Structure 1
Amino acid sequence: MKAIIVTGGDIDLSSLADYIEKNKDNIIISVDAAIKNLEKINVLPDIMVGDFDTLDDDERLEKYASLDVEIVKHDPVKDFSDSELAVDRAVEAGIKDIAVFGAMGKRFDHAFANVLILQKYKKLGVDITVYDKYNKIYVKSNHFTLEKDKLWGKYISFFSLECKSFMKKLSGVKYPIENRMIDSIATPSLYISNEMNGDRLEAVFGGDLLVVESRD
């Protein structure tokens, strides 16, 4: 089983609705005021998580509780963001594959924290993918392949989450790599905006890489 977490950032509702339609058996978790976006596309969540300070609507919470939606309410004074608490709730249910929508909103602090969450849970064996209209963001470890027809957009970029990562091979792209270091301090933008020029990308490397598939 997988989970779809909808947070309070900017969301392309058509992309969200399409993803939910194609993944009907997934658990849907609404974070704080994100329920307003789910209402716009007539989607009932399974779980609502947050301190609900931005929602501030007890009647709405009571309504969803009466519809058998699980309400997980946290104190506003806490050590974790609502998004991270939503991921924790999914992991508690034994879910290891999570899609997140709305994580890249106006607040950079929240967006950056959400990116760091990807690495935290990757080390715990949980795969999280963040989607917005222009980007698909995830963490990969050691080796992966990607088919061109599954690419989110035209571009693919790589960033080391451990300061330095050794890329043994990156093939199937316009700018291949062989036995080079991805160094987030010395050359932070060197490996952005690559493009696939074959049917299949293959990457062999050490450590954790943040991968961004993007389109204009």
Structure 2
Amino acid sequence: MSDNNQQGFSAEMDRARQRLQAISSLALQQFEQAITAYQNVNSQLAQQVLSQLQRAHDFELDMDDHCLDMLSHTASDRDLRLVLALLKAISDIEQICNQNAQIAQQVLLNTAAKPSIKQLEAISTLAEPVGTMLALALSALQQPGSAKAEQALSLAATVNRCYGAILRSNLANNVNQAGQVDTALGVDWVARALERIAEHSVNLAKQAVFMAKVSSGQSSRVELQPRRPR
């Protein structure tokens, strides 16, 4: 690649990272608002979270177009891998925004089946490591490296443990308490959304590590991560 092309690609990559930072900030803010809305049964805040979903979709479409334009000017394997990693990362972030909206949606459905204090505490216990994972993974993408990404990955076991505890508790309560099925299902939906956010955060953390390796010349291929159905 000529010097001019390389400079042009670097400038496009800088703009792509700025867009990535913008949608990352949106996803993190939306997550915090969704959890606050759920904990406080705040319908107005939940509606605000839902209203931001189209903006997240628009971010993804713009980023896709930007990356496709970058691909047309890419000649080196290194640059190609960076663009593909960005495309995968933006897809995960957009899916996180979708899960945030799922949590907000449950607020609007909770009017007839409000969670108990114990259930809300369990969701808060799960949301704490998930939020930390998300923040660390998004931060790692801005400054690709292993430290914050590894911290994010280390929380996966805690998330799985908290998620499993919620499912087991709700199952036991459903057996022993008639009329609690709708409430338990709503809590399970929120817990599932949080677990999916953690899963996408794991993908983001791995992409951050991969991009750091590519930038330093340590990786020679595109490392595709397995995906679950959306």
TM-score range, shorter chain: under 0.3
Larger radius of gyration: 2
* Structure in which a larger fraction of residues adopt strand: 1
* Structure in which a larger fraction of residues adopt helix: 2
Q: TM-score, normalised by structure 1?
A: 0.22
Q: TM-score, normalised by structure 2?
A: 0.21
